[in-house]
């Protein structure tokens, strides 16, 4: 019988919703990821599969995993995994296969709408006897007719592009690995260089993994290409943006604003200047986390483990 170790910070109600999809002959042990390292190493010695949330485990524990056939991540991101060591050890890593991609895409649209319609300010004013303190006819905007640039056209980027199209935006995209022409046509998106996308877009939204190629992808040079009225959205990873350069651009009004679900340091230092800017909306790295996402993730995860146990290659592999 395959033995699955699930190391997690998730509450028991969520892990229980995952485990309803456990194949009948699988033995699953759920443990807090805060266990002493010696205990985790002991668990790894007998594990056939490892499920991780968050996506982080020590090198010592990995080296102890002599039977491990797959590391299955609950999240999409894998930037905190020692990918090279897993490759050396012959242990494939899979992410959640886009199970939370619609959640991130919807969150992206919510951030755009919140900024464009000034929801946070309007809510505050409506509660504090300032009913029409904002002249919405002069200071709020519609997505319809705007040019939106999607940086990274993976599963999240594709779903975001579909939603932007539904709102009537003209959608450009940049990706280091361009999509086939048929996919571009089906999504109604136009391929662009990063520079041209930044110059032309009213809205720029980032959906790339964090790696050596994407760290600092949006820095001073890239921000200088953007329109003064542009909005920058980041729901992928904080270090994709040079945060100091973004703070400077926002302070100087070089772009209109930013809506960020992620920051370079999480949680941020209370003195981080970006926290105190009026033209920034922040959420605490929750774009992919909804009640509805857990069932999708759990179903995908255990189907993927079953595939590997049956001798098939895993899906959504990020390293092997």
- Pairing mode of beta strands 27-32, 231-234: unpaired
Digitized pLDDT (tens) for each residue of the chain, 320 residues in all: 999 999 999 998 998 888 889 999 999 999 999 999 999 999 999 999 999 999 999 999 999 999 999 999 999 989 899 999 999 999 999 999 999 999 999 999 999 999 999 999 999 999 998 888 888 888 999 999 999 999 999 999 999 999 999 999 999 999 999 999 999 999 999 999 999 999 999 999 999 999 999 999 999 999 999 999 999 999 999 999 999 999 999 999 999 999 999 999 999 999 999 999 999 999 999 999 999 999 999 999 999 999 999 999 999 999 75
CA distance 287 to 284: 8
Is pTM, for the whole model, over 0.85? yes
Helix (H) or strand (E) run with residue 31 in it: strand 27-32
Q: CB-based burial of residue 294 (10 Å sphere; 0-12 exposed, 13-18 middle, 19+ buried)?
A: buried
Centre a 10 Å sphere on the Cβ of residue 3 and count the other Cβ atoms it contains: 15
- Comparing CA positions, the residue from 69, 93, 66 lying closest to residue 79 is 93
Helix (H, G, I), strand (E, B) or coil at 309: helix
CA 57 to chain centre: 20
- Comparing CA positions, the residue from 41, 48, 40, 52 lying closest to residue 9 is 52
CA distance 107 to 283: 10
CA distance 69 to 91: 6
- CA dist list (Å): 15 to 19, 30, 154, 295, 300: 6, 8, 27, 10, 14
* Direct distance between the N- and C-terminal alpha carbons of the chain, in angstroms, rounded to an integer: 24
**Which are the catalytic amino acids?**
237, 266, 285
Name the maximum alpha-carbon separation found in the chain: 65
According to the model, what pLDDT value does residue 320 have?
56
Q: What domains can be seen in the chain, in order of their start residue?
A: 3-99+291-319 (3.40.50.720), 101-282 (3.40.50.720)
Q: Strands of 81-224 (E only): list them.
A: 93-94, 147-151, 170-174, 189-191, 203-206
Helix (H) or strand (E) run with residue 197 in it: helix 194-200
Per the listing, tokens 């060591």 go with 85
């Amino acid at each position: 019988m395959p033995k699955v170790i699930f190391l997690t910070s998730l509450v028991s109600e969520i892990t229980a919703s995952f485990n309803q999809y456990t194949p009948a002959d699988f033995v699953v042990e759920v443990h807090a990821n805060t266990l002493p390292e010696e205990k985790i190493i002991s668990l790894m010695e007998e594990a056939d599969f490892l499920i991780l949330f968050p996506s982080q485990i020590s090198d010592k524990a990995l080296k102890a995993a002599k039977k491990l056939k797959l590391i299955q991540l609950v999240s999409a991101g894998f930037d905190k995994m020692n990918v090279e060591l897993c490759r050396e050890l012959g242990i494939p890593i899979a992410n959640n296969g886009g199970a939370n991609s619609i959640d991130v895409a919807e969150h992206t649209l919510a951030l755009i709408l919140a900024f464009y319609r000034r929801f946070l300010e309007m809510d505050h004013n409506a509660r504090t006897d300032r009913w029409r303190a904002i002249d919405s006819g002069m200071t709020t905007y519609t997505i319809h007719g705007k040019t939106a640039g999607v940086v990274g056209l993976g599963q999240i980027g594709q779903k975001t592009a579909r939603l932007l199209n539904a709102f009537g935006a003209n959608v450009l995209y940049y990706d280091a690995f361009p999509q086939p022409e048929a996919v571009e046509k089906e999504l109604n998106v136009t391929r662009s260089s990063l520079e041209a996308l930044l110059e032309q877009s009213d809205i720029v939204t980032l959906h790339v993994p964090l790696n050596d190629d994407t760290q600092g992808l949006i820095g001073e040079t890239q921000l200088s290409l953007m329109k003064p009225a542009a909005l920058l959205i980041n729901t992928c990873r904080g270090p994709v943006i040079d945060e100091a350069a973004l703070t400077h651009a926002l302070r100087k009004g070089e772009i209109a604003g930013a809506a960020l679900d992620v920051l370079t340091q999480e949680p941020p230092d209370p003195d981080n200047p970006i926290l105190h800017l009026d033209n920034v909306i922040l959420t605490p790295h929750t774009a992919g986390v909804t009640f509805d996402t857990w069932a999708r993730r759990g179903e995908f995860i255990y189907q993927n483990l079953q595939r590997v146990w049956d001798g098939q290659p895993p899906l959504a592999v990020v390293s092997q």
